[in-house]
Amino acid sequence: MAVSSALLSTLSTGTRPTINDPVSHHSNPTSISYLSRPNNRRRPIAAAAVSHKSNGVPIDKKSRELLEQYGFDPDKILSEPSPQPKRRKELTKKGRGKNVVPEETKPPRETHRLLQVLGGKVRRKKLLSPKGMDVRPMMEVVKGAAFDILQVAGGCPASLRPGSWLDLYSGTGSVGIEAMSRGCSQVHFVEMDPWVVSDVLRPNLESTGFLDVSTIHTVRVESFLEQAVRFVDKCGAFDYISVTPPYMEVDYTILMNQVADSSLVGEDAFIVVEYPLRTDMPDSCGALPKISDRRFGRTHLAIYGPKWAQKRKGK
| Domain membership flag for residue 165 | yes
137 inside domain: yes
- Amino acid 55: pLDDT: 47
The fraction of the chain above a pLDDT of 70, given in percent, is 69
Q: State if pTM tops 0.75.
A: no
* pLDDT(74) > 90: no
pLDDT tens column, 217-258: 999 999 999 998 888 888 889 999 999 998 888 999 999 999
54: in domain: no
**Full residue range of the structural domain in which residue 139 is found:** 113-309
> Would 149 be classed as within a structural domain?
yes
With pLDDT > 90 as the criterion, what percentage of the chain qualifies? 51
**What type of residue sits at position 42?**
R
CATH number at residue 252: 3.40.50.150
Distance CA 185, CA 215 (A): 12
Is 214 part of any domain? yes
> What is the C-alpha to C-alpha distance for residues 97 and 94, in angstroms, rounded to an integer?
8
Query: Dihedral (C-alpha) 140, 146, 251, 136: value to the nearest 10 degrees?
Result: 10
Assess if residue 140 is contained within a domain: yes
- Report if residue 24 sits inside a domain: no
Helices (H), 15-82: 22-26, 52-55, 61-69, 74-79
Average pLDDT, the chain: 79
Q: How sure is the predictor about 48, in pLDDT bands with cuts at 50, 70 and 90?
A: very low
Which pLDDT value is given to residue 61? 76
Confidence check: pLDDT of 132 > 80:
no
pLDDT at 10 over 70: no
Structure confidence by residue, pLDDT tens digits, 269-292: 999 999 999 899 999 999 999 999
Cβ contact 262:103 at 8 Å: no
